[in-house]
């Protein structure tokens, strides 16, 4: 019996992919969790892009971590990762740092970069008792910016507010606290925003006061069902936290706005009709919210992409948060 043409494309019964078949290890951008995991099992190699020429798919400071039996991150989109890993494994074994050059001036002309870039990478061995690595992870846990300085042999890590300077031949990069997202609500749109936020690398918390006892089945999303004030106090709204208010509950939304707008959170978005915005702002003014704090409110929430389905709104919201985070105010703010 002949099968329909589309049957050849049906992979539902295909064998499961091996971990190496798809580079899922490259989906994470912040390598601090991967470094902590790797160091829990032994020494690791940290590979960092320290210089670029003629562009490149990843910026200076991008990193990969290679553990005893793990890898995380990506540096070029597949052109050099296998070779970098070979050098990283050798670095773990002998402890000697490497400076690798790909593209122009490379000793490996057979490794071609399709983008035509020149990439210089520092590979260094990090041991579980490394003081700089310990300080880096402690500062991340405390949500404090850090400066990492290394030449491959010697490294230090200190709070960014300190006065630590790089020495000749050393590379320096700043680490900000991991980005965080707090979503208020419990309808499909709030769930979509929270789920996409977690997938996009945000430490995400969904707040639904008096919500169900069981948390939502969303991987990577924490859940709180206490009142707004308690939830905000527990999570904390710092300069690396975005707030998306998608509650469809006038009381909860108002309480969330009162807590979020005067906070250090750089992004506060509100889901709701544009025609209701004026009266909502008047209520906030009457409650004592300053004009400078009202100015950061994004309402209606999200980039104007035209869609209103839950995941279309989620894409618009996460896109607006990222635009704000990366200093793209013209893109982030609706006209």
Which residue in this structure is represented by tokens 């948060």?
A: 321
Domains of the chain: 24-175 (no CATH), 180-332 (3.40.50.720)
Local confidence band at 172 (pLDDT 50, 70, 90 cut-offs): very high
Which residue in this structure is represented by tokens 């000697």?
A: 96
Tokens describing residue 167: 């020495």
Tell me the CA end-to-end span of the chain in Å, nearest whole number.
59
| Nearest-10 crossing angle of helices 250-260, 228-235 | 30
**Percent with pLDDT over 90 in the chain:** 73
pLDDT given at position 14: 53
DSSP 296: T
Lowest-confidence range among 114-118, 158-162, 250-254, 294-298?
Answer: 114-118
For residue 7, is pLDDT > 70? no
Tokens describing residue 245: 């208010």
> Is residue 126 helix, strand or coil?
strand
> Is residue 283 helix, strand or coil?
helix
Predicted TM-score (pTM) of the model is: 0.88
**Residues 5-20, buried b or exposed e (16+ Cβ, 10 A)?**
eeeeeeeeeeeeeeee
CA separation for the pair 103, 108 (Å, rounded): 8
Q: Tens digits of per-residue pLDDT, 265-312?
A: 999 999 988 888 999 999 999 999 999 999 999 999 999 999 999 999
Mean pLDDT score of the chain, rounded to an integer?
A: 89
| Residues comprising the chain, all counted | 335
Local confidence band at 213 (pLDDT 50, 70, 90 cut-offs): very high
Cα distances (Å, whole numbers) of residue 334 to 85, 131, 320: 44, 46, 10
Q: Tens digits of per-residue pLDDT, 176-208?
A: 999 999 999 999 999 999 999 999 999 999 999
Across residues 49-76, what is the average pLDDT? Answer: 90
For residue 18, is pLDDT > 60? no
CA separation for the pair 286, 307 (Å, rounded): 33
The Cβ of residue 23 has, within 10 Å, a number of other Cβ atoms equal to 14
pLDDT given at position 278: 93
For residue 241, is pLDDT > 70? yes
Question: At 45, which helix (H) or strand (E)?
Answer: strand 44-53
Q: Tell me which of 237 and 117 has the higher pLDDT.
A: 237
Across residues 134-151, what is the average pLDDT? Answer: 97
For residue 127, is pLDDT > 80? yes
Q: Tens digits of per-residue pLDDT, 64-114?
A: 999 998 999 999 877 788 899 999 999 999 999 999 988 776 677 666 666
- The two beta strands, 221-224 and 203-207, are parallel
| Cβ atoms of residues 317 and 193 within 8 Å | yes
- The two beta strands, 146-150 and 155-159, are antiparallel
CA separation for the pair 139, 176 (Å, rounded): 9
Which residue in this structure is represented by tokens 């310990």?
A: 134
Local confidence band at 2 (pLDDT 50, 70, 90 cut-offs): very low
């Amino acid at each position: 019996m002949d099968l329909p043409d589309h049957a050849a494309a049906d992979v539902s019964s295909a064998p499961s992919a091996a971990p190496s078949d798809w580079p899922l290890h490259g989906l994470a951008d912040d390598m601090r969790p991967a470094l902590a995991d790797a160091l829990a099992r032994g020494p690791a190699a940290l590979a960092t892009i320290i210089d670029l020429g003629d562009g490149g798919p990843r910026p200076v400071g991008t990193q990969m971590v290679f553990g005893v039996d793990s890898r995380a991150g990506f540096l070029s989109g597949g052109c050099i990762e296998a070779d970098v890993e070979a050098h990283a494994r050798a670095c773990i074994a002998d402890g000697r740092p490497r400076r690798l050059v790909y593209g122009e001036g490379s000793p490996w002309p057979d490794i071609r970069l399709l983008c035509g870039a020149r990439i210089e990478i520092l590979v260094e061995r990090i041991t579980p008792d490394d003081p700089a690595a310990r300080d880096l992870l402690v500062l991340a846990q405390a949500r404090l910016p850090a400066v990492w300085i290394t030449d491959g042999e010697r490294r230090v890590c200190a709070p960014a507010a300190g006065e630590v300077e790089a020495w000749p031949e050393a590379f320096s990069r700043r680490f900000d606290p991991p980005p965080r997202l707090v979503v208020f609500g419990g309808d499909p749109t709030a769930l979509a925003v929270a789920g996409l936020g977690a997938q996009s690398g945000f430490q995400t918390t969904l707040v639904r006061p008096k919500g169900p006892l069981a948390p939502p089945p969303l991987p990577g999303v924490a859940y709180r069902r206490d009142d707004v004030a308690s939830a905000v106090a527990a999570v904390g709204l710092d300069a690396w936290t975005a707030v998306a208010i998608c509650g469809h509950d006038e009381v909860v939304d108002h309480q969330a706005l009162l807590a979020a707008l005067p906070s250090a959170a750089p992004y506060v978005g509100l889901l709701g009709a544009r025609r209701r915005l004026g009266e909502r702002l008047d209520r906030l003014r009457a409650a004592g919210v300053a004009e400078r704090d009202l100015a950061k409110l994004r309402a209606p929430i999200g980039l104007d992409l035209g869609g209103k389905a839950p995941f279309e709104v989620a894409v618009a919201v996460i896109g607006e948060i990222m635009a704000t985070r990366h200093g793209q105010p013209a893109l982030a703010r609706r006209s």
